[in-house]
Chains A and B, each alone.
Chain A
Amino acid sequence: MEVNRRDFLKVLGIGGAATLTSCSAQPPEKLIPYLIPVEEIIPGKATWYATVCRECPAGCGMLVRTLEGRAVKVEGNPDHPVNRGRLCARGQASLQGLYNPDRIRQPLLKDASGSFKSVSWEEAEAWLAGRLAELRQRGKGSGIAWLTPHTTGTLDQLIDRWLQALGSKRRLRYEPFAYEPIKSANRLAFGLEAIPTYDLESSEVIIAFGSDFLETWISPVMYAREFAAMRTYEHGRMGRLIFIGPRLSLTAANADQWVSVPPGTEGVVALGMVRVIVTEGLSKAVPKGKVDSIKSVVNRYTPQFVSKATGVEPEQLERLARRFAQANPGLALGGGTAVSGQEATSTLVAVNLLNYVTGNVGETVLFGPLSTLSRLSTYREMVALIAAMQRGQVSSLFFSEVNPAFTLPKAAGFEQALEKVPLVVSCSSFMDETTAKANLVLPTHTPLESWGDHEPWEGMHGLMQPAMQPVFQTRSLGDLLLSLAKRLGDAPAAVFKEENFYEFLRARWRELHQRVRPDVEFEAFWVEALRRGGEFKELPARRVRLNVGALPQALKGLELPGQAGSLILLPYPSINHFDGRGANKSWLQELPDPMTQLTWDSWLEVHPEDAKRLAIGEGDLVVVKSSHGEIKLPAHLYPGLKRGVVAVPIGQGHTAYGRYADPHHPNALDTRVKERGANPLTLLAPEPDSRSGGLLWLSARVTLTKTGTKYLLASVSGSDRQHNRGIAQVIPLEEITRGGQEAGHPTKKDHPVRQMYPPHEHPIYRWGMVIDLNSCIGCSACVVACYAENNVPVVGKEEVARGREASWIRIERFAEGPPDRPETRFLPMLCQHCDAAPCEPVCPVYATVHNSEGLNIQVYNRCVGTRYCSNNCPYMVRRFNWFTYEWPEPLHLQLNPDVTVREKGVMEKCTFCLQRITDGKARAKEEGRPVRDGEIVPACAQACPTRAIVFGDLKDPESEVSRLSRSPRRYRIFEQLNTQPAITYLKKIVPGPKEI
């Protein structure tokens, strides 16, 4: 990576401009790049901008760290109520959207031959305005349709008004995961077609019916944080999670118990629990009359009946029901692709009923504030749009940042219908399968370059501001629409007074200001909102009443037994790629899926017993065929499945989404890899669910045929089992409540340590870390945060398959227990910064040494690459630069200037974010004080949604890290080797045999 003087100056110029935006609050386009450095900008000193993450609909608050005018790192905004400073892997990777080498750099117009040619913005706008004017003249203005993802707030209003001005109402907010069954179940049960907010934190017992809330469901970072909080061990108690569903997802793996049931029978379990609760008189806050009528509704769901339908033992069901009823409060969650068959609505009504009889509605299930996801269009509305397109009723289709050609079932016929639309305009940052079919592509800013706002739930207004000047000649969607309106003649132009989107946004926020804070000056309100990342207002909860009369009707369809014989396909949103939008980011491709440990791919999960029956082995390339299509996928034997179910992650199999998503791309990272991933949506039925209008994710029954070819699956895990090596340890709850040091494993502290060399002296600080395995959920946010912070290279699939992935921190996943009832343990592993580090004495050139603050330092300049240090590291956390890895332009702009980019032949590893330590110490020194506890936070600890990683000074006995490292749950890995690691792990607390 080279930065020449010219680039540097350019970047510096942009920097000034971007910094100015924060104080003068002007749209970046209007700024004059400065020539003389502004006093406020100190090269090397970071400026932070608060904005909102738009990588998924959750809308977490984000702080963007910019250096010399370019965004280099994103972190969670601690003031933001959704994520409270945490961020997931996908949020961390938003930078790779901003700097994606395959971003569309200028407007593209499709010519007669069907290929795109670059045009100027002026040409593009004039062309489009001409076409729109023509349409309106021919009276086809009402046929203009707009397709956006989950959009709220100002941009949402702007699009609606723009569309109105042109005389159309065809507006869809399209998300592939639109939670339709939740809405329909709430309408049936409570008369409110909406998605509530959930309070996981106060819950004592959570039962999740298929909802992968730690990965992809609604708001994973928020739920992960709340989940970790409810799991915290306090006063001899801690929260419990039970997961009911056909697949051992990451959420299920974090449950104290995974109850594996055939897909579609979750509702039967819920009703069985309701029956136990109401017949045993355990219900809470339910009027007597209602109890009786509920009793009559659920009467047939005896434990024996449930056991027959689902395989859950009657005693287990009763135990679960009692435990849940005792919880004060409990929370039952339901949803996700695992609960999306024809019985989905009934299942979720059953979950509602379970929440109702245990008094959770209004306690942990809150109808107010409502999630804005309630406003999403249903899949049925998409199908209607496709039909309209087919009929030629859509004169023009505009879309932005959605990819229905990829995320809709192939059989829905979106692509064919698109050909019937005379004018297709894509306002997207990236080329993708849908944009490739557009007539005109207008490249928009990524969220990190845009003004805007986002409202995840009512009253929660996140404010977005550009963190830097646009990387390419792109425009914000708002500005683009306003400028088009101006060109379209007087009537549309008159609708909008504002010059640009920034003004438009301010006008909307003026209204908000009048509503919520009329007492302060608007400018003060605005600047405060920019600084905090938005305006967050608590809204009171609405009361809802259970509609008992509707229950028998609402619960119909649950009795249907699952079809035997054929395999049920369960497509699930990938934690890395969500609906596929993460697939163009190399960090997310290289990040191992936490459950399967596979990278750069999608695969077919088959239960080992089913695989044996079908004579399918690991890595066999298999044709998966349904009545709607077929795809080829490598088989991965996965014991965490109900037999008869096969699962496929959604998100791979792109054909036009840039070099990292599409193996056929001319600039693909690994030219040796010919095929990679497949899209399971090819297999799904196009018909929407008749009750909820949602997509029937569980609709496909598939057959598998071996192709006879072996496929290379790039797994990072050497072994799924610990082989009794005590790496990821657990402690039963009873043992810990019995208390005392004895409870834990004997620690080395009791033995005097004898060494030939004098002990290291740590005169001021001794940095250390505590990792709480009870909090770690394995989500891998830390891994991507580390990639971003430390310029860790991406190596590609072939290299990962060889074991050459470069991540400094990894989440080890181990399975314990019998294969059908696995107990999953996650363990973040990084350099242990041993006090007696085995890597140090073996280096012939002192390239790795111990420093006075207890860090094990790697001196890149000095390293000659004998690799002995790695061989001698029992934790195998050292990474070698097999090649000089490259960052294709402009991804190199993301590189952290505080961290060296390493060249071929040198060893590297976790530094405990040395640059942050240095920065923290410098700040403390400037202010003439010692470093405060918690002031220095490495990237991994900062990102962790569950705060499992705590960093600090071990010399200070009062620091949090010291306090935690005295926990009775403490242990250090391979303590018997006397490496004296600076990282203390806290054992995961597992339920004792008597619990649950």
Chain B
Amino acid sequence: MAGYRLTYANVNRDILRTMEPPGKLWYILLAISIAFVALGGFAFATQVRYGMGVWGLTHPVMWAIDITNFVFWIGIAHSGTLISAILFLFRVRWRAPIYRTAEAVTVFALFTAALFPIIHLGRPWYFYWLLPYQQVGGLWINFRSPLVWDVFAVLTYMMVSIIFFFTGLVPDLAVVRDQAKGWRRRLYAFLAQGWQGTDRQWRHYTAAYLFLAALATPLVVSVHSVVSWDFAVSILPGWHSTIFAPYFVAGAIHSGLAMVIALLIPIRRIFRLDPYVTQTHLENLAKLIILTGLIVGYSYAVEFFIAWYSANTFEQGAFLYRVVGDYAWGSWIMIIFNAVVPLLFFVKKIRTSTPWLLGISLLINVGMWFERFIIIVTSLAHAYDPYTWGLYKPTWVDLSITAGSFAWFGMWFLLFAKFLPIVSIVEVKEQLPPPTKAEMTAGAPE
């Protein structure tokens, strides 16, 4: 495809082609996703029927992969806003072809993450008691609880992300509308909200988009900071740490970037989007991963250093347990996959090689999942009183709900890939020279 020249017409055609009626593979993948979502739903129904006891959670490990999944998905949600909002504000040109996917990842990851605070409740049917409304008897929520902060942070982030995602989509939806027929046309006409591409509309659109980007940017930092306070505000050794907010934000972006790479690579292949999402784009993401990986590695080192330096039996106990205790294998996965493996990206050959990119970004995602698992489970398993030490072992419910959450995310993403333009038509065009009359008459090269 070398030498392929991008023109307005090509862009329209190439991107809209991705929305053509799906093939067999798509249906198979969607069916698998829905099946796993159903399995997760069944597991949740079992939990509601019999109680939280069907999970592997126990005393003292009262949180485990439920909260691991929550934090993991919140983390995944970070790349989208980073790429779309922050890079937008910094006018980073290479963001254009990838930000739509990144934003979709954000929105769907949030859809997934938001399930867990409800699922993990002992009485999930009362989840709305965590919302700030005047409840029976004048009851109010406890603003000192980080879980309440979570509700605010996550809901805010989700709303802003959805609006931002949607706003960016409007001009593209108009393109889709113009090409669509039948019910699709009516649907996209509604979604495009009467977009005509007038100057006035463009003026308002760019202003709104800038404003939303500015609004979303601090959320990148705040959401995961707040999530990290779920742990940092507690008094548990291994959780109670001032480094948690930056450490978690960096970790979130780390995993988010890796997830975007991991999704872009197959998309690029399947939908033949190489001219749009180029090796340079992926390489730039890989470079960012080097940065976040270094921050994460530094954070790990600081945690262990402080535990040693504090001369505090409990801190030392918690961190020693992490690396030599029952879950030491998980800790080593976390340290190697998150802090060591990404350093390979320093080698240009590796960060420009698609298989390496895909492999490493998947490893980072595994590593980041384990990071949350290790922080949550090992700290609880070996807390203050040795008499209460205990182990967590997942049951089929834990695993089904986890699998269901991945399938849930995948299901949304599959739908997205067929119903919305996965690359921003408008922004890609913005970076192209406007078409000239000569070109129009000569026709675009195939």
Residues of chain A at the chain B interface (Cβ within 8 Å): 717-719, 721-725, 727, 799, 802-805, 810, 812-814, 829, 838, 841-846, 862-868, 870-872, 874-876, 879-884, 904-907, 974, 977
Q: Is the CB of A867 within 8 A of B384?
A: no
Q: B116 → chain A, closest Cβ, in Å?
A: 11
Are B123 and A876 in contact, with the CB atoms below 8 A? no
B377 to chain A, nearest CB (A): 11
> In the bound complex, how far is the Cα of B91 from the Cα of A513, in angstroms?
105
Which of A799, A864, A884 touches B121 (beta carbons < 8 Å)?
Answer: A864
Please state if B235 and A904 are interface contacts (CB–CB under 8 Å).
no
Residues of chain A contacted by B50 (CB below 8 angstroms): 883, 904
Q: Is the CB of B53 within 8 A of A883?
A: yes
A577 CA to B317 CA, complexed, in Å: 38
B62 within 8 A of A: yes
Write 16 A-B pairs (CB below 8 A) sorted by A numbering.
A718-B389, A803-B59, A804-B53, A804-B59, A805-B59, A844-B145, A844-B151, A862-B139, A868-B145, A870-B60, A874-B235, A876-B60, A876-B388, A879-B59, A904-B50, A905-B122
Shortest A766–chain B CB gap in Å is: 22
Given A865-B123, A880-B62, A906-B123, do A843 and B383 touch, yes or no (CB 8 Å)?
no
Closest 9 CB pairs of A and B: A865-B122, A718-B389, A882-B53, A905-B122, A904-B51, A719-B386, A867-B62, A905-B123, A876-B388
Asked whether A844 and B122 contact (CB < 8 A) given A871-B62, A874-B383, the answer is no
Q: Which residue of B lies closest to A841 (CB)?
A: B144
User: Contacts of A841 on B, CB cut-off 8 Å?
Assistant: 142, 144-145, 233
Nearest CB in chain B: distance from A834 CB, A? 11
Q: Is the CB of A799 within 8 A of B53?
A: yes
Question: Contacts A718-B389, A718-B390, A719-B387 hold; do A905 and B148 have CB atoms under 8 A apart?
Answer: no
Q: Is the CB of B235 within 8 A of A723?
A: no
Contacting pair B122 A904 (CB below 8 A): yes
Cβ of B180 within 8 Å of any chain A Cβ, yes or no, is no
Distance from A45 Cβ to chain B, minimum over Cβ atoms (Å): 29
Interface residue? B129 (CB, 8 A): yes
Taking A718-B389, A865-B123 as given, write out 10 further A-B residue pairs in contact, using a Cβ cutoff of 8 Å, ordered by the A residue number: A718-B388, A803-B390, A803-B391, A844-B148, A845-B139, A867-B62, A870-B60, A871-B60, A871-B234, A881-B51
> Contact flags (1/0) for B382-420 with A, using CB distance below 8 Å?
011111111100000000000000000000000000000
A846 B384 Cβ-Cβ under 8 A: no
Our pick among B123, B141, B236, B313 for the contact of A725 (Cβ within 8 Å) is: B313
Which residues in window 149-194 of B have CB below 8 A to A? 151
A875 to B386, CA, bound (A): 10
Q: Which residues of A contact B148 (CB under 8 A)?
A: 844
Provide the bound-state CA to CA distance between A804 and B384, in Å.
18
Q: Shortest distance in angstroms between B70's beta carbon and chain A's nearest beta carbon?
A: 12
Residues of B within 8 A of A872 (CB): 234-236
Q: Which residues of B contact A813 (CB under 8 A)?
A: 387
CB distance from B381 to the nearest CB of A (A): 9
Q: Which of B59, B126, B385 contacts A864 (CB 8 A)?
A: B126
Distance between A521 CB and nearest chain B CB, rounded to angstroms: 57
Contact of B314 with A by CB under 8 A:
yes
Total interface residues in chain B, CB < 8 Å: 46
Q: Please determine whether A865 and B385 come into contact, CB atoms closer than 8 angstroms.
A: no
Q: Which of A866, A871, A875, A881 sits near B385, CB closer than 8 Å?
A: A875
A residues near B121, Cβ cutoff 8 Å: 864-866, 905
Contact flags B128-140 to A (C-beta < 8 A → 1, else 0):
0110000000011
For the complex, give the distance between the alpha carbons of A804 and B55 in Å: 12
Structural contact, B147 and A880, CB atoms closer than 8 A: no
Report if B227 contacts A (CB, 8 A).
Answer: no
Minimum Cβ distance to chain B for residue A895 (Å): 19
A880 and B59: CB pair below 8 A? Answer: yes
Q: Nearest chain A CB to B217's CB is how many angstroms away?
A: 27
Pair A865/B60 contact, Cβ less than 8 Å: no
Report Cα–Cα, A829/B145, bound state, in Å: 26
Whether the pair A829, B120 counts as a contact (CB closer than 8 A) is no
Which residue of the partner chain A has the closest CB to B118?
A864
| Shortest CB distance A595–B (Å) | 14
A838: chain B residues within 8 A (beta carbon): 234-235
Residue in B62, B389, B391 whose beta carbon sits within 8 Å of that of A870 in the complex? B62
Contact for A802 among B58, B234, B236, B383, CB less than 8 A: B58
Q: Return chain A residues, CB-CB under 8 Å to B122.
A: 863-867, 880-881, 904-907
A904–B384 contact, CB under 8 A?
Answer: no
In the complex, whether B380 has a CB less than 8 A from a CB of chain A is yes
B127 in the interface, Cβ–Cβ < 8 Å? yes
Residues in B with CB closer than 8 Å to A814 are 386-387
Beta-carbon contact of B313 and A880 below 8 Å:
no
Query: Is B52 positioned at the interface, with any CB of A under 8 Å from its CB?
Result: yes
B331-361 contacts to A (CB < 8 Å): none
The CA-CA distance from A880 to B55 in the complex, in Å, is 13
- Docked Cα-Cα span, A871 to B51, in Å, equals 19
Contact, CB under 8 Å: A803 / B145? no
Q: CB-nearest residue of chain A relative to B50?
A: A883
Report if B146 contacts A (CB, 8 A): yes
Determine if B304 is an interface residue (Cβ-Cβ < 8 Å): no
Q: What is the bound-complex CA distance between A866 and B390, given in angstroms?
A: 19
Q: Are B142 and A718 in contact (CB under 8 A)?
A: no
Docked pose: A880 CA to B144 CA in angstroms:
22
Q: Is the CB of B384 within 8 A of A844?
A: no
**Shortest CB distance A981–B (Å):** 13
Chain B contacts for A870, CB-based, 8 A: 59-60, 62
Residues of chain A with a CB closer than 8 A to B144's CB? 841-842
Q: What residues on B are CB-neighbors of A904 within 8 Å?
A: 50-53, 122-123
Residue of A864, A872, A907 with most partner-chain B CB within 10 A: A864
Q: Which residues of A contact B313 (CB under 8 A)?
A: 723-725
- Please tell me if the beta carbons of A717 and B387 are within 8 angstroms of each other in the complex: yes
Cβ of B123 and Cβ of A863 under 8 Å apart? yes
Q: How far is the CA of A872 from the CA of B386 in the complex (A)?
A: 15
Interchain CA distance A862-B145 in the complex, whole Å: 15
Tell me whether A725 and B51 are in contact (CB under 8 A): no
B63 at the interface (CB under 8 A from A): yes
A845 proximity list for chain B (CB < 8 A):
129-130, 139, 141-142
Interface centre among A724, A883, A905 (most CB of B within 10 A): A905
B58 contacts which chain A residues (CB < 8 A)?
802-804, 882
Task: Determine if B51 and A905 form an interchain contact, defined as CB atoms under 8 angstroms apart.
Answer: yes
Task: Name which residue of chain A comes closest to B388, CB basis.
Answer: A876
How many whole Å from A797's CB to the nearest CB in chain B? 14
Q: Which one of A812, A843, A845 has the highest number of Cβ atoms from chain B below 10 Å of its Cβ?
A: A845
B145 touches A874 (CB 8 A): no
Residue of B nearest to A848 (CB): B142
Given A865-B121, A871-B380, the answer on whether A812 and B147 have CB atoms closer than 8 Å is no
Choose among A876, A883, A884 the residue that contacts B383 (Cβ–Cβ < 8 A): A876
**Residues of chain B within 8 A of A871, CB atoms compared:** 60, 62-63, 234, 236, 380
Residues in B180-220 with C-beta less than 8 Å from chain A: none
Residue of B nearest to A718 (CB): B389
Of A725, A803, A843, A881, chain B has the most CB atoms within 10 Å of the CB of: A803
A844 near B147: Cβ-Cβ < 8 Å: yes
- B389 touching A719, Cβ below 8 Å: yes
B53 contact set on A, CB distance < 8 A: 799, 804, 882-883, 904
CB–CB A727/B59 < 8 A = no
Q: Which residues of A contact B120 (CB under 8 A)?
A: 866-867
Question: What is the CA–CA distance of A722 and B313 in the complex, to the nearest angstrom?
Answer: 11
A812, B141: Cβ atoms closer than 8 Å: no
Question: Which residues of B are found within 8 Å of A881, using beta-carbon distances?
Answer: 51, 122
Check if A868 sits within 8 Å of B123, measured CB to CB: no
Q: How far is the CB of A27 from chain B (nearest CB, A)?
A: 45
Contact in complex: B142, A843 (CB < 8 Å)? yes
